[in-house]
Amino acid sequence: MNEPILTQHQQMENSDRYKNLIVVLTVFTTVLAAVLAALQADANIREGVASRDSQYLAILASGELQRAGLESNYEFSVLGDYLQNLQEGTVLELTALEQETSGKEDAAQASREIAALSQARTGIGEKFSILYTDPRYAPQNDDDLPKAEQYLTDIFEKANEIVAQQNEAADEYHNWDRKADLYVTALTIIAMAFFLFGMAQALKDARLRLTFAFFGIVVIGFSLLITVTTLLS
Amino acid sequence: MKRSSWFTSRFEIINAILIAVVSLTTAFAVWRTNVVGSNADDENRQGLIDAVKKQAFGNEHHRKVYEEAGFAYQFAVKQAEALALEASDDSAAQERAANIQQYLLPNMQLLAQPLATDEKYQNADGTYDLQKRLTDMQNAEEDQLDPSASFARADSLFAEQRWLVVGSVLLAVSLFWLALAEVSNGRLRTSGFTIGLAIYLLGILWFVGVELIFFYTRRGGS
């Protein structure tokens, strides 16, 4: 008479077995998911800041490149003007000498007057050109040309520095972006663990319950592995 | 003893209510954390917009300064040319110089203004102070654009978000202990409940503390 009651009791015990373990595992997974979410949020913040810095530096670099371009364009236009006037003046002086030698006094006088104009323009060009006024670029001897390459290096130095910083920020952005993505992967895997523990909770058979719990633990282990490697990288 | 028995008999209901409250608090904490993060993103966006505007102003100023510098240079060249003609012994050259000075140079000077017209931009050697002209070009609207201020506010909000996330984790941990208490018996149940409640209160305090600290920090900074 008592036998069926005992069997029913045993069945109930069997179906309740490991239930507490599953609950503990589920709650542990919840905490793990919360910690992972915190890590993901942190990675996202760092990614956002690096992305912003990279964009801001790109704006600054483009502005600096434009400024350097305008300034060098102006300077080289003045230099070109100066060199043209200098050569024109020299050629006209030579012409005047030749004309004088061949007895064309009036023509020689006219050539000298035009040469004087070229020389006047040359004087202004020399005064306005940084390549002749700045001792860093000015030629040391009369026959030398100004150090234009040094000028170009100096004028684009700031832009190059900003671009280098921008590259660093872009690299940092990619690094944190990769980490944030990996944390999302780990979180997605944890969602699978939730599913497996949920199945384990719902099932009545103790062996099946343990099987699902085991796979849930394996999945959590995999997620932890991704988290730790990402954290250390 | 009687009180203890009352608590024990209703523990599961009390704990279930507490779990519900903690869940709601966690949801609120997550919402608030996201709002702070969203505000930080807004500040970042504003900072970038300001940076683009400021750079556009800067670009335009530089373009204009070098355009004016080009005209001013041409004016200086023509002026030197006129002086050279004037110095000539040839009367025809002197007449040309007079005409250039009377008709051409005033127009070129107008084109080269203000560098060629305003004395404050003229250096002693006859060149022009381009840096001063550039400084004078900056206007009040441009001065108001301060991307670094927006970025500093964004950084502060991001820092707050980070600490608020820690608060959310504390609340999640308290859920763990309370749930553990729900499924346990005896001393484990009591200790789980106590630890869960303590961590919950700590989480709340943490959250409020972070909010207050950052509120006053930003207020002091602004």
Percent with pLDDT over 90 in chain A:
70
Give the residue-averaged pLDDT of B67-92.
91
Contacts B165 to A, Cβ<8 Å: 37-38, 41-42
Chain B CB within 8 Å of residue A109 CB: yes
Q: Do A45 and B162 touch (CB under 8 A)?
A: yes
Residue type, B125: D
As given in the structure block, the two tokens for residue B178 are 């309370």
pLDDT at B77 over 80: yes
Is B118 in a helix, a strand, or coil? Answer: coil
A82 and A133 Cβ atoms separated by less than 8 Å:
no
Residue A10 lies in a domain: no
- Joined tokens for residue A21: 């373990």
More confident residue, A92 or B220: A92
How distant, in Å, are the alpha carbons of A197, B75, B76, B82, B126 from that of A89? Answer: 93, 20, 18, 16, 22
Domain annotation covers residue A13:
no
Q: In 3D, which of B161, B100, B181, B81 has the Cα closest to residue A123?
A: B81
Residue A121 vs residues A83, B89, B112, B117: alpha-carbon distances, Å: 10, 19, 17, 20
- From B158, B45, B163, B210, select the one nearest A47 (Cα to Cα): B158
The answer to whether the Cβ–Cβ distance between B90 and A55 falls below 8 Å is no
CA distances from B181 to A136, B128, B175 (A): 79, 82, 10
What are residue B122's DSSP bridge partners?
A: B128
Indicate if the pLDDT at residue B186 is higher than 90. no
Most confident of A195-204, A219-228, B120-129: A219-228
Tokens of B56: 């556009």
Mean pLDDT over B103-119 rounds to 92
Q: Among B55, B151, B169, whose Cβ lies nearest the Cβ of A35?
A: B169
Angle at B180 between CA B179 and CA B184, to 5 degrees: 120
- The pLDDT assigned to B120 comes to 92
Give the pLDDT score at A26.
Answer: 85
Give burial (CB, 10 Å; 0-12/13-18/19+) of A6.
Answer: exposed
* Contact of A196 with A212, CB cutoff 8 Å: yes
Confidence band of B1 (pLDDT split at 50, 70, 90): very low
The more confident residue out of B196 and A142 is B196
Q: Note the pLDDT of residue A1.
A: 44
Asked whether the beta carbons of A177 and A54 are under 8 A apart, the reply is no
**Three-state secondary-structure class, residue A43:** helix
In a domain, A153, yes or no: yes
Is the pLDDT score of A8 beyond 80?
no
Q: Residue A133's domain spans which residues?
A: 18-232
Distance between CA atoms of residues A28 and A34, nearest Å? 10
Residues of A in contact with B52 (CB under 8 A): 59
What residues are paired with B128 via a beta bridge? Answer: B122
Token pair for B53: 């505007």
The reported pLDDT for the residue numbered B89 is 83
Query: What's the whole-model pTM score?
Result: 0.82
Tens of pLDDT along A100-116?
A: 999 998 899 889 989 99
Asked if A151 contacts A75 with a C-beta cutoff of 8 angstroms, the reply is yes
Query: Distance (Å, rounded) from C-alpha A183 to C-alpha A231?
Result: 9
Whether residues B73 and A124 touch (CB distance < 8 A) is answered with yes
DSSP annotation string for B7-18 = HHHTHHHHHHHH
**Prediction ipTM score:** 0.82
pLDDT for A205 equals: 84
Interface with chain A: mutation pick from B39, B68, B73, B150, highest number of A CBs within 10 Å: B73
Q: Do A124 and B59 touch (CB under 8 A)?
A: no
pLDDT number for residue A13: 57
Q: Which value, in Å, is the radius of gyration of the alpha carbons in chain A? A: 41
Instruction: In whole angstroms, give the CA distance from residue A65 to residue A86.
Output: 31
Do the Cβ atoms of A87 and A181 come closer than 8 Å?
no
Mean pLDDT of B184-209: 89
What letter would DSSP give residue B122? B
Alpha-carbon distance of B77 to A125, in angstroms, equals 8
- pLDDT mean across residues, chain B: 89
The HSE-up count of residue A87 (CA atoms within 13 Å, CB side) is 5
Contact across the interface for A52 and B85, Cβ inside 8 Å: no
Closest alpha carbon within chain B to A54: B48
Nearest by Cα to B182 from A202, A23, A14, A213? A23
Q: State the pLDDT confidence band at A145, using cuts at 50, 70 and 90.
A: confident
Q: Please check whether residue B68 is in contact with residue B112, taking contact to mean a CB–CB distance below 8 angstroms.
A: yes
pLDDT tens by residue, A150-175: 999 999 999 999 999 999 999 999 99
Instruction: Write down the pLDDT at residue A27.
Output: 80
pLDDT of residue A22: 86
Residue A8 lies in a domain: no
Taking only the tens place, the pLDDT of each residue in A29-79 is 888 888 898 899 899 999 999 999 999 999 999 999 999 999 999 999 999
> SS3 of B128, please?
strand
Reported as a single tens digit per residue, the pLDDT across B2-33 is: 556 776 778 888 889 999 999 999 999 999 99
pLDDT, one tens digit per residue, over B137-183 is: 888 778 889 999 999 999 999 999 999 999 988 998 898 888 888 87
Q: For residue A28, what is the domain's CATH number? A: 1.10.287
Q: Is A95 part of any domain?
A: yes
Query: pLDDT value at position A11?
Result: 55
In degrees, to the nearest 5, what angle opens at C-alpha A115 toward C-alphas A109 and A117?
110
Bridge partners of A16? none
Say which residues have a Cβ less than 8 Å from residue B3's Cβ, sequence separation at least 6: none
**Total domains present in chain A:** 1
Whether A12 has a pLDDT exceeding 60, the answer reads no
Q: Which residue has tokens 């670009």?
A: B59
Interchain contact, A78 vs B169, CB within 8 Å? no
Q: Is the pLDDT of residue B95 over 70?
A: yes
Q: How far apart are CA B187 and CA A57, in angstroms?
A: 60
Token pair recorded at residue A150: 């040094």
